[in-house]
Amino acid sequence: MSAPLYQLQNEFERFRPIWLAAGAKVRHYAEGDIIYPLHTAWQTVSYIDEGLVHASIRQGEKEKLVAAYGRGMLMPFSAPESVPISHRIQFSAATDVVAWEISTDAFQRLLKDADFNQQMMTAMWQLIHLLLHEVQSLSFDTGLERVASFLYTYFENTGRDCLEIGTGDLQAYIGLNRSNLNKYLAVLVHDKIIRKQRGSIRILSPTKLRTYCAPRIIECSLVSIADTQLGQLDNQEKWQAIRQRDASYDGTFWYGVRSTGIYCVPSCKSRLPGKENIVFFSTPEEAEAAGFRPCKRCRPDIAQYQPNQQFLLHVKSLIDHQFDDPMLLRETLGSLPVTVRHLNRLFKLKFHQTIHAYLMDKRLQAAAEKLCHTDESVVTIALASGFHSMSSFYTNFKRAYGMPPQQYRQKKRN
């Protein structure tokens, strides 16, 4: 399973009896009610018996959702008065909620139970991991990666192919404006990866969705997707792609045939193998490590024949690390074993952006970050972000953020 999982539930389900024994009071909240407001020292801790609660950080009229707490979760986690950051989080009812409330003194007594204390530590670290992911996501991921990663981690961790969430809440989780969010959702809808309905998003192709995620989402997988309910859906989808010889799946997975010992891409025109003889792989290297040899017909081991996923992730990583040095980047990309034109075609096929557009996004994101967190001049920031033309920087920055750099800096600091 991948981390993070934004919808948390059942972590404290087995402690219901001792919670009730601690003298809990039943509280009812209507959808939209504030349960624990900002800037308030918490005097109680509640166990959620029914409903869904949003944990969020607010600044003025803006809200950033951190996680959704369901049945069997505690809110808030008790923290010492010397940790004021805890009071920056607001808990509000996303649906009608029934909660069992006890005082913090009673809660401290519960912490003397070793089992309960261990679960508290586990839940706290789960939240810390989630927040660390947020920092990485906002710092390094493109908008499309953020959308895909959010959807994929939910589906992989829950095994459910339908996420009940409105556009407003999804926007508040991911941190994109409505226009950009809709643009990236439209990409996934166009490629028949998701189906968007009012108040919900249904995943149609987990295999393809996975290829749009940030690389670390795939790398931090804790168990094989094949061991989950979603894995069964995933394998059925792959089998259909092989039957239909669907080239749109090439580069998302490879399959080996036990009876022949060869591995192929989904679109291979060779004779269709029996379903019982097929084993799936994420990379050609994985197939070869398992003892399979490449098919001579579809040549799944050669990037020029097949837009290799790992090759394109490598190209993307090069851009991520060299976007601020145009000369070095040009030299690096020119040394790759494909023509620039062919590389651009493959890159756009996978990431739905040209290399130039992706490079511009990275430079603008770096510039925006420096404008917010340093006192360097606009010229210095533009040059350090990889721009050699101030007119190009001003034009592209205003197009992306709707205002000139100085105005953006002033607005963010205010």
Q: Where are the domains of the chain?
A: 7-129, 141-219, 233-294, 313-414
What single-letter DSSP state applies at residue 36? E
Percent of the chain scoring above 90 in pLDDT: 20
The amino acid that residue 193 corresponds to is: I
* pLDDT for res 158: 76
- Report DSSP state, residue 291: T
Whether 264 is catalytic is yes
pLDDT in tens, 192-220: 889 888 888 988 888 888 878 877 776 66
Q: What is the sign, positive or negative, of the torsion defined by CA atoms of 225, 358, 167, 371?
A: positive
The residue annotated as part of the active site, out of 264, 268, 295, 298, is 264
- List pLDDT tens digits, range 65-79: 888 899 999 988 766
- Collect all residues with Cβ–Cβ distance below 8 Å to 274 and sequence separation of at least 6: 259
> What is the CB-side half-sphere exposure of residue 289 using CA atoms within 13 A?
7
pLDDT band, very low/low/confident/very high, at 11 (cuts 50, 70, 90): confident
* 11 Cβ neighbours under 8 A, 6+ residues apart: 72, 73, 74, 119, 122, 123, 126
Instruction: Give, in words, the CATH class of 141-219.
Output: mainly alpha
Residue pair 67/100 in contact by the 8 Å Cβ criterion: no
Both structure tokens of 308: 């290799």
Distance between CA atoms of residues 285 and 75, nearest Å: 46
Instruction: Sort 338 into a burial class: Cβ within 10 Å, 0-12 / 13-18 / 19+.
Output: middle
Packing angle, helices 143-158 and 167-174, rounded to 10 = 110
Confidence of residue 86 (pLDDT cuts 50, 70, 90): low
Cβ of 409: how many Cβ atoms within 10 Å? 20
Query: Is the model more confident about 126 or about 92?
Result: 92
Domain at 313-414: CATH architecture: Orthogonal Bundle (1.10)
Alpha-carbon separation of residue 181 from 56, 67, 169, 191 (angstroms)? 19, 19, 11, 16
CATH of domain 233-294: 3.40.10.10
**Nearest 5°: CA angle at 316, between 375 and 320?**
15
Q: Which pLDDT band, with edges at 50, 70 and 90, does 231 fall under?
A: low
Band the pLDDT of 172: cuts 50, 70, 90.
Answer: confident
pLDDT tens by residue, 296-345: 888 887 744 444 566 787 888 889 888 888 888 888 888 876 677 778 87
Residue 38 in this model has a pLDDT that exceeds 90: no
Res 288 pLDDT > 70: yes
Could you tell me which residue, 162 or 309, shows the higher pLDDT?
162
Per-residue pLDDT at 187: 83
Structural contact between residues 204 and 192, judged by C-beta atoms closer than 8 angstroms: yes
Query: At 223, is the pLDDT very low, low, confident or very high (cuts 50, 70, 90)?
Result: very low
**For residue 242, how many C-alpha atoms fall within 13 Å in the half-sphere facing its CB?**
24
Name the residue type at position 262: I
Q: Contact, 75 vs 19, CB < 8 A?
A: no
CA dist 242 and 286 (Å) reads 19
Q: How many CA atoms lie within 13 A of 164 on its CB side?
A: 4
Q: What is the DSSP code (8-state) at residue 13?
A: G
Q: What is the largest CA-CA distance in the chain?
A: 71
Confidence of residue 49 (pLDDT cuts 50, 70, 90): very high
Query: Token pair for residue 66?
Result: 């951190």
Q: What is the mean pLDDT of residues 371-377?
A: 89
Q: Please check whether residue 89 is in contact with residue 66, taking contact to mean a CB–CB distance below 8 angstroms.
A: yes
**Mean pLDDT across the chain:** 83
Give the pLDDT confidence score for residue 176 in this predicted structure: 83
**In angstroms, rounded to a whole number, what is the distance separating the alpha carbons of residues 130 and 220?**
12
CATH ID of 7-129, from 3.40.50.2300, 3.30.70.360, 2.40.50.140, 2.60.120.10: 2.60.120.10
More confident residue, 109 or 87: 109
SS3 208: helix
Q: Does position 29 have pLDDT exceeding 90, yes or no? A: yes
- Which DSSP string corresponds to 350-389? HHSS-HHHHHHHHHHHHHHHHHHH----HHHHHHHTT-S-
Asked whether this chain's domains 141-219 and 233-294 adopt the same fold, the reply is no
Q: Is the pLDDT of residue 293 over 80?
A: yes
The per-residue b/e assignment along 35-64, b for 16 or more CB within 10 angstroms, e otherwise, is bbeeeeebebbbbbbebbbbbbeeeeeebe
3-state secondary structure at position 256: strand
Exposed e or buried b per residue across 274-308, where buried means at least 16 C-beta atoms within 10 angstroms of its C-beta: eeeebebbbebeebbeeebebbeebebbebeebbb
Indicate the DSSP class of residue 118: H
